[in-house]
């Protein structure tokens, strides 16, 4: 069985077995000893340990991978004057797709009215975190100590440092060329580490999902069904409607290939609910399976994982309308535009880890003049939506990377079109050897 299928099988069986254990744990007929055993040894024991080790191993690769692949990318582009246009296109597309996502989310939510029949049953007690001033946010992008930036995993600071370093390499003559060669070798080694980790993925994905579904009551979805399914519908529409359309119009490529090659990445995103932890896999897939040259992917993918969160923005759009309806507040046209702007900005500020989209939602609600406590209404179903929206977030990163790479001729169409261009293959520019 191919690795993709094994990962997907692990995902499905994790969900099924987790849900079954949830039933066993909550059924009155199960002897207490069995419940305690399942809880302590399986859910809180084996699954927990395997899942946490898996996420830790993914995170382990993020900083080395981002650093090395950005340095390689920037050093090969540094003297070609394409760095500026690539950065502009990427940023423009990231912002535009996010704004489209919120716009569609608002339109859907207004049409469906998920909050109009909801009684405010929950005692809403959500306390918003205080947002730092914008000036600090800007200054914080620039590192004063690269080692601290890496130790703290500050992605934007690492990106700035790596871009500068890579650019300098391309302007340092013979010495620079030697260093560039070293980093290219290093990139192959780190990518090989990602390959090893991917082979472990079925176990990790299974353990994470089995534990989550064993502990999470799915009942909460029923109470919030209208909200839940509205967010889900817009997420699916964005992934299977908007991105394919953009890919066709802007790059003239078949979206089906991209979507099918993204499936294992979705399994990672879904089970970790973190675009940050999924980043090694996204980068690996975008470079080796979708044929985006490292000079573009090395920049677009880490940046996208950090600032491009269309799925998160969709949740925020629907949540805003939902909360307004529950509280009986009529949103004006101006408020909708404010929501589009703030949700787009908030998604940039959302860290690529589980649940942060809900925290930055406070910012959007505040700007729209809505009660921040409303967040308490939707917390119950957020984890499940987080898993799906993270998968949409990473799909956006991949789609934009492909579009930018195609427009810059940093793209290997034969790799993109080869369904078997796969894990462990060579770097696209060197011709890939399908192995799966």
Closest CA to 75 of 182, 158, 188: 182
> Could you say which of 180, 356, 365, 415 contacts ligand ASP (CB under 6 A)?
356
Closest C-alpha to 262, from 229, 241, 239: 239
Judge contact between 262 and 395, C-beta under 8 A.
Answer: yes
Q: Tell whether residue 303 is a contact of ligand ASP (CB under 6 A).
A: no
Distance of CA 100 to the CA centre of its chain: 17
Contact 290, 398 (CB under 8 A): yes
Q: How far is the CB of 274 from ligand ASP (least distance, A)?
A: 4
- Sole window of 93-101, 251-259, 371-379, 387-395 interacting with ligand ASP (rule: CB under 6 A): 387-395
Q: Which stretch binds ligand ASP (CB under 6 A): 143-151, 177-185, 384-392, 416-424?
A: 384-392
The piece of 11-19, 70-78, 333-341, 353-361 that touches ligand ASP (CB under 6 A) is 353-361
**Binds ligand ASP (CB under 6 A): choice among 38, 265, 352, 404:** 352
Is residue 350 at the binding interface for ligand ASP, with CB under 6 A as the rule? Answer: yes
Q: Supply the minimum distance, in Å, between the C-beta of residue 349 and ligand ASP.
A: 11
SS in 3 state form for the chain? CCHHHHHHHHHHHHHHHHHHHHHHHHCCCCCHHHHHHHHHHHHHHHHHHHHHHHHHHHHHHHHHHHHHHHHHHHHHHCCCCCHHHHHHHHHHHHHHHHHHHHHHHHHHHHHHCCCCCCCCCCCCCCCCCCCCCHHHHHHCCCCCCHHHHHHCCCHHHHHHHHHHHHHHHHCCHHHHHHHHHHHHHHHHHHHHHHHHHHHHHHHHHHHHHHHHHHHCCCHHHHHCHHHHHHHHHHHHHHHHHHHHHHHHHHHCCCHHHHHHHCHHHHHHHHHHCCHHHHHHHHHHHHHHHCCECHHHHHHHHHHHHHHCCHHHHHHHHHHHHHHHHHCCCCCCHHHHHHHHHHHHHHHHHCCCCCCHHHHHHHHHHHHCCCCHHHHHHHHHHHHHHHHHHHHHHHHHHHHHHHHHHHHCCCECHHHHHCCCCCCCCCCHHHCCCCCC
Contact between 393 and ligand ASP by CB under 6 A: the answer reads yes
> By CB under 6 A, which span of 165-173, 248-256, 267-275, 326-334 interacts with ligand ASP?
267-275
For position 97 contacting ligand ASP by CB under 6 A, the verdict is no
In three-state secondary structure terms, 155 is helix
| Cβ distance to ligand ASP smaller for residue 83 or 303 | 303
Q: Are 269 and 387 in contact (CB under 8 A)?
A: yes
> Is residue 153 close enough to count as binding ligand ASP by CB under 6 A?
no
Tell me if residue 171 falls in helix, strand or coil. Answer: coil
Q: Is 381 in the site for ligand ASP (CB under 6 A)?
A: no
**Residue from 95, 353, 376, 436 binding ligand ASP (CB under 6 A):** 353
Nearer to ligand ASP, 77 or 361 (CB): 361
Q: Does 432 bind ligand ASP (CB under 6 A)?
A: no
Residue 304 within binding range of ligand ASP, rule CB under 6 A: no
Nearest residue to 179 via CA among 198, 165, 194, 197: 165
Q: How far is the CB of 386 from ligand ASP (least distance, A)?
A: 5
CB of 225 to ligand ASP, least distance (A): 21
- Smallest gap, in angstroms, from Cβ of residue 224 to ligand ASP? 17
Exactly one of 44, 146, 355, 371 binds ligand ASP (CB under 6 A); which one? 355
271 lines the binding site for ligand ASP (CB under 6 A): no
90 or 272: CB nearest ligand ASP? 272
Q: Which of 230, 275, 285, 410 touches ligand ASP by CB under 6 A?
A: 275
Number of residues engaging ligand ASP in binding (CB under 6 A): 16
Partners of 235 in beta bridges: none
The residues, any chain, with a CB within 8 Å of residue 130's CB and separated by 6 or more, are none
Indicate whether 390 belongs to the interface with ligand ASP (CB under 6 A). Answer: yes
User: Under the criterion CB under 6 A, does residue 273 sit at the interface with ligand ASP?
Assistant: yes
CB of 324 to ligand ASP, least distance (A): 20
18 contacts ligand ASP (rule: CB under 6 A): no
- Residue 98 touches ligand ASP, criterion: CB under 6 A: no
Residue 156 CB, nearest approach to ligand ASP (Å): 15
Residue 309 near ligand ASP by CB under 6 A = yes
By CB under 6 A, is residue 51 in contact with ligand ASP?
A: no
Told to check if 155 binds ligand ASP by CB under 6 A, we report no
Nearer to ligand ASP, 90 or 274 (CB): 274
The CB-of-350 to ligand ASP minimum distance in angstroms stands at 5
Q: What residue ranges bind ligand ASP (CB under 6 A)? A: 273-275, 309, 312, 350, 352-357, 386, 389-390, 393
């Amino acid at each position: 069985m191919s690795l993709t299928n094994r990962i997907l099988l692990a995902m499905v069986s994790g969900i099924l077995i987790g849900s079954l254990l949830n039933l066993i744990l909550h059924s009155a007929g199960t002897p207490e000893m069995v419940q305690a055993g399942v809880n302590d040894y399986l859910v809180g024991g084996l699954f927990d340990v395997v899942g946490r080790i898996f996420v830790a191993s993914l995170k382990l690769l993020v900083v080395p991978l981002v650093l090395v692949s950005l340095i390689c990318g920037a050093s090969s582009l540094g003297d070609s004057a394409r760095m500026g246009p690539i950065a502009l296109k990427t940023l423009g597309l990231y912002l535009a797709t996010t704004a489209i996502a919120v716009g569609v989310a608002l339109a859907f939510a207004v049409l469906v009215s998920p909050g109009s029949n909801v009684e405010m049953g929950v005692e809403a007690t959500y306390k918003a975190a205080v947002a730092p001033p914008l000036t600090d946010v800007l200054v914080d992008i620039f590192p004063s100590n690269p080692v601290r930036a890496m130790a703290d995993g500050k992605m934007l600071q690492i990106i700035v440092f790596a871009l500068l370093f890579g650019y300098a390499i391309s302007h340092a003559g013979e010495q620079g060329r030697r260093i560039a060669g070293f980093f290219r070798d290093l990139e192959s080694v780190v990518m090989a580490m990602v390959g090893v980790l991917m082979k472990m993925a079925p176990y990790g994905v299974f353990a994470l999902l089995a534990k989550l579904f064993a502990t999470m009551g799915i009942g909460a979805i029923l109470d919030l069904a209208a909200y839940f399914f509205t967010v889900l519908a817009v997420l699916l529409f964005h992934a299977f409607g908007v991105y394919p359309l953009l890919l066709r119009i802007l790059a003239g490529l078949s979206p089906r290939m991209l979507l099918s090659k993204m499936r294992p990445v979705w399994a990672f995103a879904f089970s970790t609910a973190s675009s940050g932890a999924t980043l090694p896999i996204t980068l690996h897939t975008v470079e080796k399976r979708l044929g985006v040259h490292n000079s573009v992917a090395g920049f677009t993918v880490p940046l996208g994982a950090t600032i491009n969160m269309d799925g998160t923005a969709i949740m925020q759009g629907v949540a805003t309308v939902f909360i307004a309806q529950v509280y009986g507040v009529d949103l004006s046209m101006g408020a909708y535009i404010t929501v589009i702007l703030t949700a787009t900005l908030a998604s940039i500020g959302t860290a690529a880890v589980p649940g942060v989209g809900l925290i930055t939602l406070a910012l959007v609600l505040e700007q729209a003049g809505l009660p921040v406590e409303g967040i308490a209404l939707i917390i119950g179903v957020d984890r499940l939506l987080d898993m799906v929206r993270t998968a949409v977030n990473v799909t956006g990163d991949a789609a934009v990377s492909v579009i930018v790479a195609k427009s810059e001729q940093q793209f290997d169409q034969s790799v993109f079109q080869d369904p078997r261009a796969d894990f462990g293959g060579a770097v696209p520019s060197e011709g890939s050897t399908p192995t799966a």
